[in-house]
Copies of this chain bind each other. A is one copy, B any other.
Amino acid sequence: MSTFELYRRQYNPLLPASLQGTGYTLKKGEPMAPVADGEEIAKQFPMTTNLPAISIEPSTEQSKLLEPLTIGVIFSGGQAPGGHNVLCGLYDKLQQLAPNSKLLGFLGGPKGLMDNKHMILTKEYLATFRNMGGFHAIGSGRDKIASTKDFDAAANTAAVEKLDGLVIIGGDDSNTNACLLAEDFIKRGLKTRVIGVPKTIDRDLISKRGIETSFGFDTSCKVYSELIGNLCYDALSAKKYWHFIRLMGRSASHITLECGLQTHPNICLIGEEILAKNMTSKQVFEYMADIIAQRAANGKNYGICLIPEGLIEFIPENNKLFDYLNNKLLPGWQGEITAELVAQKLPADLKVTFESIPPTIRTQLLLDRDPHGNIAISQIETEKFLVSGVQQVIKERELKLKFSALYHFFGYEGRCAAPSAFDSSYCYGLGSVAAVLLGNGITGYMSCLKNLSEQPDKWIAGAIPLTSLMNIEMRHGARTAVIQKQMVDLAGRPFGFLVVNREKWAEQDCYQQPGPIQLIECQDVEGRNVVYQSSVTLLEEARGL
């Protein structure tokens, strides 16, 4: 273990007042209907729809100790900083409320539950992982509990291990799955209660109903912003490169927006805006080229451009084109495939779209198809796609300017970082809430902490029904109840902050270097303790309330 890790293990996360002692009061609020399609969801989730919001409030009276519980826990999906602290918060609170409880960590994600591969999590074992990054204490996996056989297997494990509860730490799909399990266990007459924990660096699991942020977003954005801030000064010092930086986050651009707010780049593309404006690739290239040319005219042949991973899919014409190629044109294709031949056979509007893709990328796309012969949008290196497009515009406009691009992709680097002070405490608190909920026999809920722009002792603990996050969407051709992904809100304050500033940021060098995450309590120049300060996004949203 590194010195940093030894040091960090000794940190005690902070808890809101209601979770500090053994005393608390559970209060039930108004019933919470699904975000949409309530009746249809109620049919699928008869036992867990329209449940009330729950708040956990401080109480000076000690709650009486519970009989020992047996609780299982799973990581589901991609890593996010703070996962280990959910385990620790869950474990510690269980031991406090129901001493001698048993915590089973299912190994390698949902598959571990179905196969009943688990380990008993002890205080000693967890000590190694306190405030540490990664999910390796029990591993994670991307399997889904989908078929009847899968649900039978999960129920079998729950019955064999006499699980009182199960905590599923995951993203939107995993939490939809958690709710299906909650219903299924009730139907089978099992005592196993199910609680979800909102995990994803992408932040698309937020909800105005009580999820201010998903865990991991704060830390990973701080890691990426540290690097982007360094690259800002690199651009400014060398004065000869444009750094194009692609950031994780395929279905929503929260990460790119947050990193933009932290570092003030010259260009910050937000997929949701491009979708809302129905922009074409060409329009995006031109927007970028305008800024690059304007800076060059001011003697600035350098800059910083942030790009969300999923950008290409946000451009509506691309989806139409790729859909046509994959489902109409390519399946029956005979003979050699060249860009020219493909262009000839496309309808006029799609031909325009196809030809707006830079030639090298066009050829590469046709060559590098997946095993089913499909073109995979996600395989396109978005930053190279954009730069090729910008170079095309520069050529067409006959602009004489120096334009040298360097490429970066930041994603994996942030997923397993040691959690920030914010995420350390947030995750520990989410685990504690899950323990309180399970100790009270609550099922089908998401563990929640609110008021996160304040210091941790002022956070508010509670829970919302998982179904309250759901709507109906088409999945594999069927109407399916799923947790609604939350995209960047174009009417929200965080995006508004970008809009108000981006022209200035484009022209001038307003770069900020947020620096490496500091984990020791420290005051800013105005004497505020800043170590628990979370994302700009969250602060801006709190100001908007």
Contacts and interface: CB of A to CB of B under 8 A. Distances in A.
Contacts of A78: 238
Copies of this chain, complex-wide, total 2
A203 interface: no
Interface residues on A, range: 35 or more
Contact of A133 (B6, B7, B230): B230
Nearest to A6: B525
A136 B6 CA distance: 36
Interface string A205-228: 000000000000000000100110
Contacts of A233: 79, 132-134, 136, 416
A289 to B, nearest CB: 23
Contacts of A520: 518, 520, 522
Interface in A233-283: 233-234, 236-239, 243, 262
A515 B237 contact: no
A148 interface: no
A408 to B, nearest CB: 7
Interface in A496-513: 512-513
A301 to B, nearest CB: 13
A214 B476 CA distance: 58
Contact of A234 (B4, B79, B238): B79
A524 interface: yes
A8 interface: yes
A5 B413 contact: no
A446 interface: no
Interface of A: 1-8, 10, 78-79, 108, 132-136, 139-140, 223, 226-227, 229-234, 236-239, 243, 262, 406, 408, 412-418, 512-520, 522, 524-525, 530, 533
Given A7-B530, A79-B238, 5 more contacts: A78-B238, A108-B239, A132-B233, A140-B238, A418-B516
